[in-house]
Amino acid sequence: MKARTSTRTRLVRGAAATATAAVLAGGVVATSASADGSSDGGSTENAYTIPNYASARVAGMPQQYDSGQYANMPAVTGAMACDPGNPDGISPVAGRQWAYYSGDGSLGSRNANVTVTGWTSGAKALNAITTDGTQCTLQEGWRQVDSTRFSRTLTNGTEYAVVTRVNNVLVAVVAGDQGSPAANKRVALGEAAKATGRVVLNYPPAA
């Protein structure tokens, strides 16, 4: 029995890893298709629960904050501003955010943010991130440097953000002050892959 369970676990993890790689490389993830033409609301109450997709640590930094269930949040915490933002932009219908930092979190401390948001249309939301089409907009200096059908990579020159899509759910990781822009990018890519794999394995049933 143990051997069978172990084999099944490896197969499931392997499937999640394959799906995650497909997302980051622009491949197709096997979840139901989303409708691209719908609009999202702006409620603070989640339409459904976002599970705990977060790591206990990111690049050695402990998890310091969990927002709980809260829909009206930026899709890319740490790279977006909501005031004034875009009042006419689309908003998530579900959301949860986790913060990581070293030491006391003072200026210059290593830091990362992981945000998982649910949308009426994940495809529409992913496209809207880089066109200021969501209710929160990119802060000055942030720009897209890479994209696939299922992901976006952004930077402000030092910090990096990686956003992935699994059907109607977006996963965003922003990393800063890891020692260099290359290190920031590496941390963002690595944690985005982990969190995306967890979403694939445990996709919210109502999303």
Show pLDDT as tens, one digit a residue, over the chain (207 residues).
444 444 444 434 454 554 555 556 554 443 433 333 333 445 568 899 999 999 999 999 999 999 999 998 999 999 999 998 999 999 999 999 999 999 877 777 899 999 999 999 999 999 999 999 999 999 999 999 999 999 999 999 999 999 999 999 999 999 999 999 999 999 999 999 999 999 999 999 888
Show the tokens assigned to 90.
Answer: 């689309």
The predicted pLDDT at position 107 comes to: 77
Hey, what are 145's tokens?
A: 């440097």
Per the rule left: phi > 0, alpha: psi between -120 and 50, beta: everything else, 60 is left
| Closest to 173 in 3D by CA, of 97, 114, 96 | 114
Please tell me the pTM assigned to this model.
Answer: 0.82
Is the domain spanning 2-201 CATH 3.40.1000? The answer is yes
Domain ranges of the chain: 2-201
66: phi then psi, degrees, rounded to nearest 5: -135, 120
- C-alpha torsion sign, points 167, 145, 173, 75: negative
Q: What is the DSSP letter of 206?
A: T
